[in-house]
Amino acid sequence: MKVTIVGTGYVGLVTGACLAEIGNDVFCVDVDPRKIEILNNGGVPIHEPGLQEMLRRTRAAGRIQFSTDVKASVEHGDIQFIAVGTPPDEDGSADLQYVLAAARNIGKYSNGFKVIVDKSTVPVGTALQVRRVVEEELKARGLEGSEKHGFSVVSNPEFLKEGAAVDDFMRPDRIVIGIDDDRAGNLAREKMKRLYTPFNRNHERTLYMDVRSAEFTKYAANAMLATRISFMNDLSNLADTVGADIESVRRGMGSDPRIGYHFLYAGCGYGGSCFPKDVQALAQTARENGHTLRVLEAVEAVNHDQKEVLVNKIVKRMGEDLRGRTFAVWGLAFKPNTDDMREASSRRIIESLLARGATVRGYDPVARDEAQRVFALDLADRPDDFKRLNLVTTQQDALTGADALVIVTEWKEFKSPDFWHLKSALKTPVIFDGRNLYEPEAMAEMGIDYFAIGRPHVELDRNGSSR
């Protein structure tokens, strides 16, 4: 099938590569010439495991192309995926200008029946706005009501985890498709069914529903996952106060099959491109319709405060004035297996340490360049603080001579380090762990002063042993 993907970010690029992988003829278009140049030269503008290899195969087979030619892209695909960004507006609502611009181009250059697929995460009612924009462009061309230039707007939200997006697309747990119940919708349903047939070989994974329900489903799913994270983080702060171990609590909760273990880990807050903006957008949709999603607003408030919890532990242990102190920070991206720095907890933590006069040496396996760019913007009006931030290329470079280690992202290579070497590299053997990677008792036995999230702090005696 001939498919066009508008936008080459995480969602668009993964969608295009995976659809090309199973044999479709895919045209990826983007208004950013820099991205297209990178892709045409064999590179990938994002870090996503398995994506570069897949693009190499599909490009060599001639099943995927990249261009800035909007007209050619519209003419190419019977199915037009809109996979552009929907960043949060000032009031928290989703900014739809890029979605509607893509829709306008489809109406402007349409050369036949088009299935227009909203793949971007969009609020309820967006499909109707897309429809109106396309109709306006067709009317301007004198093609309004033309059967040849008919179209149907479909909602097909993505459920891709950064760091596992390729596998999520190729082995989906569900495929949600929202389609209107009319003649154009029936044509669109047949095309979407054919497109996704290869992903339903073992069993049917496709859930058909009305368009508004499909739009709502994406926000509801992300809001539920964010709620679990914030709930555990809220509990972890209480566990700190009453002396409970949140890891034991998590196991006790998660063993209940009605609850399960997924997204029940306490930490230093969620980030990324989805949860923060989707929680805000759903809450704003509620407000616009005269409702208050009280649970969801609490979820956002807890997450905001959670990003300071680790800093508060550092201040309690080492004092408010951190001038002359150096901190090694392991993990900059918002989660492992990505270089995405959007809403990353490391940004708040590092900026808070720098504001107190500390020097920070940060390390991340893949996000160093993106972090350098982001912090240069974040600290543009704080040049003295920016000078005290050094993003290094190895774990060891971050550790040597530091007053403490701060763990922010749970990369695999951080889970089982050489603790004796780590202890000797640090000026003082102190770890502030924002992801609860280690066992407090084991750390104390090695003479490491260990502070985690919602886990008991084991005191060390004067000889550096636990007591």
- 267 among annotated binding-site residues: yes
DSSP 87-128: -B-TTS-B--HHHHHHHHHHHHH--S-EEEEE-S---TTHHH
Do 340 and 333 touch, CB atoms closer than 8 A? Answer: yes
- 212 among annotated binding-site residues: no
- 131 among annotated binding-site residues: no
Q: Reduced to 3 states, what is the DSSP secondary structure of residue 330?
A: strand
- 114 among annotated binding-site residues: no
Q: Which of 276, 283, 260 is nearest to 226 (CA)?
A: 276
- 159 among annotated binding-site residues: yes
- 30 among annotated binding-site residues: yes
- 13 among annotated binding-site residues: no
- 42 among annotated binding-site residues: no
Produce one character per residue of 337-362: b if its CB has 16 or more CB atoms within 10 Å, e if not. Answer: bbbbbbbbbbbbbbbbbbebebbbbb
Is 274 annotated in the active site? yes
- 121 among annotated binding-site residues: yes
Q: Which of 270, 115, 269 is nearest to 185 (CA)?
A: 115
- 405 among annotated binding-site residues: no
- 270 among annotated binding-site residues: no
Do 453 and 434 touch, CB atoms closer than 8 A? Answer: yes
Q: Which of 18, 28, 268, 274 is catalytic?
A: 274
Do 192 and 156 touch, CB atoms closer than 8 A? Answer: yes
> Number of C-alpha atoms within 13 angstroms, CB side, residue 7?
24
Do 41 and 63 touch, CB atoms closer than 8 A? Answer: no
- 161 among annotated binding-site residues: yes
- 108 among annotated binding-site residues: no
Produce one character per residue of 240-261: b if its CB has 16 or more CB atoms within 10 Å, e if not. Answer: beeebbbbebbeebeeeeeeee
- 338 among annotated binding-site residues: no
* Residue 418 token pair: 């050489």
Instruction: Tell me how far apart the alpha carbons of residues 124 and 219 are, in angstroms, rounded to a whole number.
Output: 9
- 193 among annotated binding-site residues: no
* Residue 154 token pair: 């479909």
**What is the number of other CB atoms lying within 10 angstroms of the CB of residue 194?**
11
Do 159 and 172 touch, CB atoms closer than 8 A? Answer: yes
Position 10, amino acid:
Y
- 125 among annotated binding-site residues: no
DSSP 377-412: HHTTT-HHHHHTEEE-SSHHHHHTT-SEEEE-S--G
Query: Residue ranges for the binding site?
Result: 30, 35, 86, 121, 159-162, 218, 263-267, 271, 277, 335, 342
Query: Residue ranges for the binding site for NAD(+)?
Result: 30, 35, 86, 121, 162, 277, 342
- Residues with a known catalytic role: 274
